[in-house]
Amino acid sequence: MDIEIKGKKILLIGNGFDLAHGLPTSYSFFLDFCDKIKETLLFPEFSNDDEWKKDIILNWDIDNSIKSKLYEWDKNTNNNLNKLFIEIYDNIKDNIWINYFLNIRYTLGKNWIDFESEISNIIQAFECIRDNIERRERIQQGEGSKVIKLEVVKGFVNISTEIEGLKELDLEDMYTNLKLFDVYIKKMTVDLDKLIRALEIYISEFINKIEVLQKNDDIKDINPDCVLSFNYSNTYERIYGQSNKVEYDYIHGKADKTNNVNTCNLVLGIDEYLEECDRDNKLEFLPFKKFYQRIFKSTDSSYMEWVDEIRQNSNYPYELYIFGHSLDKTDKDVLELLICNDNVQTKIYYHRKSNDDKKELGKLIRNLVRVIGSKELIRRTGGSHKTIEFIPQTLPEAD
């Protein structure tokens, strides 16, 4: 390990950190980005209509630097092909997942965890139906949960019937044909990788280029020794960490435009949902799971060394600052290892819209109960063993 963190500070950040700096990193912005590319590139009847394209892009409610770059890319496509532009096009075109999420995006929650939860719902439904096909069993009307899962699968498949490579297949047969069903699953796997690569280009080439003019009042004076980022962007590093010796762990990967779909190391997937007895045997959907992606993509795990240091130096006080992370149970393994140490003082910042707004605080408390349990949370938020404190984020000054 490069840094001796004995008694030092760790900053843990999630997507709310980027949003607090005005960066359009929610999944809805990424889907809008994909939609704009589809609108400007994938409709041949408008391929030469510059005014129509300009109207589509420049009227988009997003950071001006993103609109300008996308418009310039499109305007120069015929004269000077931009490799990243073409790569995004190839990854978005006929992508099962992008088509699906563009169709249902207004019915989802606002956070990336909602996006991942929807992927999980789809995958669990496909797993259930595949099991039935493999056993050559027909789903009966009285099997309520299976009927619902079949409807989920059919709803997903119906959106992709016109996709190149699938429209030639008789997808109605896949509900009794295991080989055909597995062909579709393979397409889902490949297309999730393509979605993730498109996201990597969006983050590295667009988000990381947006100028952030003002530092966050809650962050600027922390001066951490280590930063554990659940984000793909380099926001903290480029705004706060340029002159400081800070150790970074991008636990879900760090966006790099020089990658390709095979070398991209971003993790975007789901948590384990199978019962213990099935986890080592039912592997058809393994590539969708985060733990598999972390291993396969060799993402950083420096935080484990930090945890070892904390435990080996139990007489030294450490400080853990959490900003912009939902504390969802999907990250239970990491959060628990850091928070549940008596020599770690944890400060959790929560977003608010006004002085008396505690909506997000309530969500964080509920999520933390799922992570460490109610007894542990009660013990650590009061009395002589208090190690957890919830702090409201500083409200921006009124214009």
pLDDT score, position 140: 66
Scan for tokens 């140490």, then name that residue: 341
Query: Is the Cα torsion angle 14, 16, 20, 23 positive or negative in sign?
Result: positive
The 226-229 sheet, strands edge to edge: 247-250, 226-229, 9-13, 318-323, 344-350, 388-392
Structure tokens at 293: 């992606």
pLDDT score, position 182: 93
Query: In the 8-state DSSP scheme, what is residue 397?
Result: P
Listed residue (268, 219, 244) closest to 21, CA to CA:
219
Question: How many angstroms separate the CA atoms of 348 and 255, rounded?
Answer: 26
Distances (CA, A) of 316 to 236, 304, 346: 26, 18, 14
**Residue 197: how many other CB atoms lie within 10 Å:** 23
pLDDT score, position 31: 94
What does pLDDT average to over the chain? Answer: 88
Angle between helices 178-201 and 96-104 (to 10 degrees): 80
pLDDT score, position 170: 81
pLDDT score, position 166: 81
Question: How many angstroms separate the CA atoms of 34 and 41, rounded?
Answer: 10
pLDDT score, position 45: 45
| pLDDT tens digit at each of 399 positions of the chain | 455 556 789 999 999 999 999 999 999 999 999 988 887 765 544 455 566 666 777 778 888 888 888 777 766 655 555 788 889 989 999 999 999 999 998 898 888 989 999 999 999 999 999 998 998 877 766 667 888 898 999 999 988 877 877 877 788 888 889 999 999 999 999 999 999 999 999 999 999 999 998 899 999 999 999 999 999 999 999 999 876 789 999 999 999 999 999 999 999 999 999 998 999 999 999 999 999 999 999 998 899 999 999 999 999 999 999 999 999 988 999 999 999 999 999 999 999 999 999 999 999 999 999 999 999 999 999 888 899 999 999 987 754
pLDDT score, position 367: 96
